[in-house]
Amino acid sequence: MTAYKQVFTALIGLSAMAAFSGTTVAADAKKGKEVFERICAECHGPMGEGDKGPPLVPLLHQPDGMIAIARAGKGEMPPWPRATVSDDEIRSVAAYLKSLGDGS
Residues that bind ligand HEC (CB under 6 A): 39-40, 42-44, 52-54, 56, 60-61, 66, 69-70, 74-77, 80, 85, 90, 93
Q: How far is the CB of 24 from ligand HEC (least distance, A)?
A: 19
Q: How far is the CB of 7 from ligand HEC (least distance, A)?
A: 42
Q: How far is the CB of 20 from ligand HEC (least distance, A)?
A: 26
The amino acid present at 89, given as its one-letter code, is E
In DSSP notation, 45-80 reads -TTSS-SSS---SS--S-HHHHHHHHHH-BTTBPP-
CB-CB contact of 92 with 37 (8 Å) = no
The amino acid present at 52, given as its one-letter code, is K
Q: How far is the CB of 72 from ligand HEC (least distance, A)?
A: 10
E strand or H helix that includes residue 20 = helix 2-35
Quick one: 11 or 68, whose CB is closer to ligand HEC?
68
Strand partners, 43: none
Residue nearest to ligand HEC as judged by C-beta position: 75
